[in-house]
Chain A
Amino acid sequence: MTVVRATPATWHPDDIDHAVRLLAATPTHEGRDPDLLRQWALTATEFGASLPATPCHARIVQLQGGLDEGLLARYTSRPAPTLTLFTDSVQLAERVIAENGWRDWYPPGSVRAAALAHEAVHAQLHHGPHRARLKRALGHVVLRFGRRRVYGHVAGTEEIAAHAYAQVTCGLGRSPLVLTTALSEHLNLPPLTHSDRREN
């Protein structure tokens, strides 16, 4: 399987670090070999960057309340494919970009464009044929019968592909994950952990 590489020619090592961290925090990857995660992160990034640009056919809805839900955008496939853009989150993102002096990486209006592109990938992977290609590219063999192989799903890689696609199609200097981390820190959101326990 060859993956056609689009721009940028080399990924910022820090961008890949962000992607590796996202994979490591995804359930089912607890304690997986960091080198394997890095390989998957790279493969998913290249795969996302190689996806053909497709217009998004989903209905677009703009809503407030993204900060409360901790979301920038959301794609839902039912009842009709809908892409929700949280305007308060987008506004905050633009402000954080300006404050951090990241305009070179994320031009004005690029957050909105990136969010649309990101969710378009989810829609595309959900309905289209590309998902099987991603699985083959990742090459995570879960079962072998003689020469036949069954490739497994690698949780979290679609998210990385979506960010990479957005980065390439919107011409961003750095991965949207860098922006996500900055927003998360700005909002002081608790990180994702898998051991929240509560008893009454």
Chain B
Amino acid sequence: MGVIILLVMAAGVAAMLTRKIPTAFALVLLAVAIAVLAGAPATGKNSVLDTVVQEGAPMLAATMIAILLGSWLGRLLDETGIAGTLVRKIVEFGGDRPVVVALGVLAVSTLVGTVTGSAPAAMLAGIVGIPAMIAVGIPKTTAAGTILMGIAAGMPFELPIWQFFSTALELPVETVREFMLKLFPFALTAAVAFVLVETRRRGVEHTWSLRTAPPKSSQRKRLGDAPWYALLTPVIPLVLALGFELAIIPSLLAGILYAVLTTTRPGQISKRLLRTFYSGVEVAAPPIALFIAIGMLLAAVKLPGAVDALAPLVKGVSPQNAVLFVIVFTVLVPLCLYRGPLNVFGLGAGIAGVLIAAGIYPAAAVLGLATSYNQVFGVSDPTSTQTVWAAQYAGVTPQQVMVRTLPYVWFVALGGICVTAATSL
């Protein structure tokens, strides 16, 4: 039966790869199929409808709320001009030296990446940041890569991600935080190295473009400069969650309040809060759909029937020796790309669930693997929205961005997997 479940999973991956079905829908179908194959009854204890669908759907509810708050804060950073002001200041101060501008935009992306993830984060830093970098001579692929590497450097501190791994892998938030602190130096080193090495290798690029400005200004409306103390907004949730060990949702809410109080006249506050909340909901819709589906998939692979069927198969191929562990999982890194089977926000979440439920690795080791893969997925996957957006906005293909960034994020994954083998195996 285990083999059949694996075949069904492979079919699911194929459906996602070929984009026959959106990832979220494919995962729901997979969850139901796995539960049925595992011999789960329709209703009752460990059943298809009650356990997988009813209890699985809200399993990651705390993550969904965190994502929603992150998106809300992201919308506020945009609407209040905080993100735009940060980028504008960087260009004004460092515009003569392209590498300084790129490092500055990288820093802004990292800050933004701690608040929200995926395409919304790329847009926040990139809508002004990418054309600004190109205007000072940074080549397009480097410009897109800088945004993505920056967001990924902030990812270890992205509070919704902490919540996701904490719930999905049934680990306390403190454990997740501890590992993320060890992963962060690798992510930051790789990001800074990307900017320094790539600007050195590719130099600057200036063009005579055939594209011109629109005759009538269809530009974004004037936002004005946000006051300097408002620019601290992105670090507020981080300081609270990291420094004061406050819970994730109150930390994010504090950031939202700080952003609106420092930028908005009192009479406008509730209106602005409500408006940005609603557009935040829209921004958060794709990840929320995914998290509903992942919850069901996790519930399905944890069914006793599924664990019994899959455990012997997975056990046979999972390396226990630390050196082998590092080699095998580092070589498998590309499997998290193109919606592959190790994509943490896809079937990879289910595989992580199997590894833990079957007792093959300790949950902390699975956390290390999943977060390391996430660093690769977040930057280089040419099918994920942030990579597609950043590449297209810069005027290159997502594949070009993947080729340029993959060596750097592969190094991050190697670092994370080494730490995992040393501490959690």
Contact = CB atoms under 8 A, between A and B. Distances in A.
A9 interface: no
B359 interface: no
B212 A115 contact: no
A21 B215 contact: yes
B219 A119 contact: no
Given A21-B215, A31-B219, A194 B92 contact: no
A135 interface: yes
A7 interface: no
B136 A155 contact: yes
Given A21-B215, A193-B218, A27 B392 contact: no
Contacts of A155: 91, 95, 132, 135-136
Interface stretch (B198-206, B229-237, B241-249): B198-206
A194 B210 contact: no
A162 to B, nearest CB: 8
Given A135-B96, A153-B96, A193-B214, A71 B219 contact: no
Interface in A36-90: 66-67, 70-79, 89
A153 B91 contact: yes
A153 B385 contact: no
B382 to A, nearest CB: 11
B211 A192 contact: yes
Contacts of B207: 71-75
B223 interface: yes
A113 interface: no
Interface string B121-162: 001000111011001110100000000000000000000000
A153 B205 contact: no
A73 B205 CA distance: 11
Nearest to A23: B213
A89 B286 CA distance: 41
Nearest to B393: A196
A73 B208 contact: yes
B219 A193 contact: yes
Interface in B44-60: none
Contacts of A190: 211
Nearest to B94: A153
A142 interface: yes
Contact of B219 (A30, A67, A177, A181): A30
Contacts, number: 180
A45 to B, nearest CB: 16
A131 interface: yes
A77 B394 CA distance: 19
Contacts of A109: none
B203 A77 contact: yes
Given A155-B91, A193-B218, 7 more contacts: A24-B219, A27-B87, A71-B207, A89-B210, A189-B211, A196-B393, A199-B286
B367 to A, nearest CB: 28
B135 A156 contact: yes
A6 B218 CA distance: 34
A27 B132 contact: yes
Interface in B334-362: none
Given A30-B219, A142-B93, A155-B136, A199 B210 contact: no
Interface of A: 18, 21-22, 24-28, 30-32, 66-67, 70-79, 89, 115, 118-119, 122, 126, 131-132, 135, 140, 142-143, 150, 152-156, 158-159, 162, 176-177, 180-181, 183-184, 187, 189-200
Contacts of B88: 28
Given A30-B219, A30-B222, A126-B137, A191 B203 contact: no
Nearest to A115: B208
A153 B201 contact: no
Contacts of B393: 196
Interface residues of B, number: 52
Nearest to B214: A191
B388 A200 contact: yes
A180 B93 contact: no
A131 B96 contact: yes
A176 B209 CA distance: 11
11 contacts: A25-B213, A31-B222, A75-B204, A76-B139, A118-B208, A192-B214, A194-B131, A194-B220, A195-B220, A196-B393, A200-B286
Nearest to B97: A153
Given A75-B205, A199-B385, A28 B212 contact: no
A180 B394 CA distance: 20
Given A31-B222, A71-B209, A200-B385, A26 B204 contact: no
A31 B81 CA distance: 12
B221 interface: yes
A141 to B, nearest CB: 10
A156 B210 CA distance: 15
Indicate the member of A18, A32, A159, A162 with the most B CB atoms within 10 Å: A159
Interface string B84-119: 100111011111100000000000000000000001
Indicate the member of B93, B203, B209, B389 with the most A CB atoms within 10 Å: B209
A37 to B, nearest CB: 11
Contact of A22 (B213, B220, B286): B213
B91 A184 contact: no
A97 B382 CA distance: 41
B202 A196 contact: no
Contacts of A187: 210
A67 B209 CA distance: 10
Interface string B57-89: 000000000000000000000000000100111
A135 B136 CA distance: 14
A79 B389 CA distance: 28
B268 interface: no
B18 interface: no
